[in-house]
A and B are shown apart, each in its own frame.
Chain A
Amino acid sequence: MAVPLIAARGIVKSYGQVEALRGADFSLGAGEVVALIGDNGAGKSTLAKILSGVERPDGGTIEVDGEPVAFGSAEEARSAGIETVYQDLALCADLTPAANFFLGRERLRPGLLGLLGVLDNAAMRRATQDACERLGVRLPSQSAPVSALSGGQRQGVAVARAVTWARRAVFMDEPTAALGVVQTRRVLDLIRTVRDSGVSVVLISHNMQDVMAVSDRVEVLRLGRRVACFATAQASMEDLVGAMTGALEQQEGRP
């Protein structure tokens, strides 16, 4: 692999007495889907939060395109082109899809009205509609609040939002955990669409079927460390589960 898009080495993070990460490594290449798996408490979500700027690591280094970075906030990660779809989706249920799409980066009307902070709702609605259509997310109405959407549609809005703003990578934390069969398939299709558009995807999941179906590589965390890396095509379900549970030990830290 050339210079990885994101390379994290020796990430350490503790919450009080609890060591969530004890020197975890992670790497993500351009245009690939990497599944980040591990048992409960292995540190997947913590690592994802650190890489997407929500939490600060206590130690370790992160490089984006070979340049060391220290994200102080989610905004800084976002300005580096890294977006996150949170497990709880982080949508404002009372707002429309377009308002959620553009939350924090609203488009304003040109001229004087814009200086007064007046929103360009029509433009934001159009852009949202275009993005959703491109990604195959069908919404019944652009004017109804997100609370009126089904679980799958909400997921679609959250994913479409992240993908639209991401220039480099999208982190997805358990994107299919709350979904039925039909919608899960849609999200997996969406992940492939995103990858084909050149944006890398990090899929954090418990669901081995999903992981096998959509990922190019798998990185396994156990007890706060990376314990294994697989090319998905060469790994079996048993390998993954073995690495997660510790039954199968790979060389520490070697991709």
Chain B
Amino acid sequence: MTGGAAHDGPTGTGGAAHDGPAGTGRVARDAAAERAGAKPARTGRGGLQVVWIGLVLVALLAAFSVLAPRAFPTSFNLLNLVSDAAILLLLATGMTFVIITAGIDLSVGGVLVFSAVVAAKVTEATGSAALGAAGALVTGLAWGGLNGVLVALGRIPALIVTLGTLGMSLGGALLLTGGVDLRAPADLNLGLGLARWLGVPLIVWICAAITAALALALAFTRFGRHTYAIGSNAEAARRAGVAVRGHLIKVYGLAGLLAGLAGHLSLAKYGITGVSAHSTDNLQAIAAVVIGGTSLFGGVGTVAGTVIGVFIPVVLQNGFQILGVRPFWQQVVVGAVLVAAVYLDQWRRRARDQ
């Protein structure tokens, strides 16, 4: 083996220098690399996958538009699409931050439901929708903070911590409601739930604005930089003076806060707390994040990729429905895309680590 980097195709800087006979020894190889100027320079492994997966989404949109020209590419249907995707987008955006730190958050669906129950109860008790919303946000933040503290300070694997808080929050929601879905206050369901601006549901605007803000924060701020650094090499980040534990608590807190908001918006949109409807939200969010090019091993990923990763399953489901394909195919296809996305990531990671 002359190292995986040699297989990465043309480099433009004389990558052929790598292609010497195997076993020429480290010194010779290093010297060759120095002469060649570099190993192939790659521009961010996350970036490339975003382009690919974006093309997949465009191809899907084009295919469904051709196959169902009357029903698919209509403003009504496309609005349906974004409405379906909006709330999952919040969960997936929070999940993107968590996964980039090389963590995971399985609790988002439970936190969503628990927050929705709190919002419904608080609104019912106080008559104030604003207090209900605040209750949902605070509840989400608290669950997320608990996750973060247990992961960062308790040193318990995130998979276990958030599996535990998933059970606790789902079970807690069932205890609070007695297992019967609560209805949303009518003001909320008929107000925020139906409100539109420029013809687009207000909920979609809210989710889009928050996602955009967090995309920028991840890409351009110190907070984002530290998120990548921790996922890439937590020990190096700690030694460089990054407050790793505090940052992890913030990241899990953010994911919880977004799940809390998603709970409130979901209550407004669907009119019920949905206590049994969200047990696979976590997997949907993780799938979207991973399809969008974020590495489960941390350090790599973008919110833009996640947005595309959210839309691919939604578009498939919508398109299949319109075409009369049995909707179960959506699960099959999304599963295959997910596996392919992770395979790509692994392959590139091997190439990198030679």
Residues of A bordering B, CB below 8 Å: 54, 74-75, 78, 84, 86, 89-95, 99-100, 103-106, 108, 116-119, 121, 138-141, 143-145, 147-153, 179-183
Q: Does B329 belong to the interface (CB within 8 Å)?
A: no
Given known pairs A149-B38, A181-B27, the reply for A106 and B300 (CB within 8 Å) is no
Q: Could you tell me the distance between the alpha carbons of A84 and B235 in the complex, rounded to whole angstroms?
A: 14
Binds A, one of B108-116, B122-130, B226-234: B226-234
Q: Does B342 belong to the interface (CB within 8 Å)?
A: no
Chain B residues positioned under 8 Å from A78 (CB to CB): 241
Are B239 and A117 neighbours in the complex by a CB distance under 8 Å? no
> How close is A158's CB to chain B, nearest CB, in angstroms?
10
Closest to B351 in A: A147
The 4 A-B residue pairs with the shortest CB-CB distance in the complex, in nearest-first order? A140-B38, A104-B241, A94-B299, A92-B232
Chain A residues positioned under 8 Å from B59 (CB to CB): none
Are B38 and A93 neighbours in the complex by a CB distance under 8 Å? no
Closest to B295 in A: A94
**Most chain B beta-carbon contacts within 10 A, residue among A86, A144, A152:** A144
Are A106 and B34 neighbours in the complex by a CB distance under 8 Å? no
Binds A, one of B135-143, B216-224, B272-280: B216-224
Q: Would you give 7 A-B contacts (Cβ < 8 Å), ordered by A?
A: A90-B240, A93-B233, A103-B241, A104-B242, A106-B222, A117-B221, A144-B42
Known: A90-B233, A116-B221, A148-B41. 5 other contacts (CB 8 A): A92-B232, A92-B233, A94-B232, A106-B222, A144-B41
Given known pairs A90-B236, A180-B26, A182-B31, the reply for A148 and B42 (CB within 8 Å) is yes
Are A152 and B300 neighbours in the complex by a CB distance under 8 Å? no
Q: Could you tell me the distance between the alpha carbons of A141 and B229 in the complex, rounded to whole angstroms?
A: 19
Residue from A92, A95, A182 within 8 A of B34 (CB atoms): A182
Chain A binding site: helix, strand, loop or mixed by DSSP?
loop
Q: Could you tell me the distance between the alpha carbons of A212 and B200 in the complex, rounded to whole angstroms?
A: 73
Q: Could you tell me the distance between the alpha carbons of A44 and B76 in the complex, rounded to whole angstroms?
A: 70
Chain B residues positioned under 8 Å from A139 (CB to CB): 38
Are B41 and A183 neighbours in the complex by a CB distance under 8 Å? no
Are B239 and A74 neighbours in the complex by a CB distance under 8 Å? yes
Q: Could you tell me the distance between the alpha carbons of A140 and B13 in the complex, rounded to whole angstroms?
A: 9
Q: Could you tell me the distance between the alpha carbons of A119 and B300 in the complex, rounded to whole angstroms?
A: 18
Given known pairs A93-B299, A150-B33, the reply for A106 and B225 (CB within 8 Å) is yes
Chain A residues positioned under 8 Å from B196 (CB to CB): none
Q: Does B43 belong to the interface (CB within 8 Å)?
A: yes
Are B236 and A91 neighbours in the complex by a CB distance under 8 Å? yes
Given known pairs A99-B225, A106-B222, the reply for A74 and B241 (CB within 8 Å) is yes
Residue from A84, A89, A95, A104 within 8 A of B232 (CB atoms): A95
**Most chain B beta-carbon contacts within 10 A, residue among A78, A104, A117, A153:** A104
Are A180 and B239 neighbours in the complex by a CB distance under 8 Å? no
Chain A residues positioned under 8 Å from B39 (CB to CB): 140, 148-150
> How close is A141's CB to chain B, nearest CB, in angstroms?
4
Are A182 and B13 neighbours in the complex by a CB distance under 8 Å? no
Given known pairs A91-B236, A117-B222, A182-B30, the reply for A148 and B229 (CB within 8 Å) is no
Given known pairs A91-B233, A94-B232, A145-B42, the reply for A119 and B34 (CB within 8 Å) is no
Closest to A84 in B: B239
Q: Could you tell me the distance between the alpha carbons of A89 and B240 in the complex, rounded to whole angstroms?
A: 11
Q: Does B154 belong to the interface (CB within 8 Å)?
A: no
Q: Could you tell me the distance between the alpha carbons of A153 and B26 in the complex, rounded to whole angstroms?
A: 15
Q: Could you tell me the distance between the alpha carbons of A89 and B300 in the complex, rounded to whole angstroms?
A: 20
Q: Could you tell me the distance between the alpha carbons of A149 and B37 in the complex, rounded to whole angstroms?
A: 10
Given known pairs A144-B43, A148-B42, the reply for A95 and B30 (CB within 8 Å) is no
Residue from A86, A92, A117, A149 within 8 A of B237 (CB atoms): A92
Q: Does B327 belong to the interface (CB within 8 Å)?
A: no
Closest to A99 in B: B225
Are B27 and A103 neighbours in the complex by a CB distance under 8 Å? no
Chain B residues positioned under 8 Å from A140 (CB to CB): 13, 37-39, 41
Closest to A116 in B: B221
Closest to A150 in B: B33
Chain A residues positioned under 8 Å from B33 (CB to CB): 150, 152
Chain A residues positioned under 8 Å from B29 (CB to CB): 180
**Most chain A beta-carbon contacts within 10 A, residue among B33, B221, B240:** B240
> How close is B145's CB to chain A, nearest CB, in angstroms?
20
Q: Could you tell me the distance between the alpha carbons of A104 and B239 in the complex, rounded to whole angstroms?
A: 9
> How close is A14's CB to chain B, nearest CB, in angstroms?
22
Q: Could you tell me the distance between the alpha carbons of A9 and B116 in the complex, rounded to whole angstroms?
A: 62
> How close is A99's CB to chain B, nearest CB, in angstroms?
6
Q: Could you tell me the distance between the alpha carbons of A179 and B231 in the complex, rounded to whole angstroms?
A: 26
> How close is B198's CB to chain A, nearest CB, in angstroms?
27
> How close is A190's CB to chain B, nearest CB, in angstroms?
15
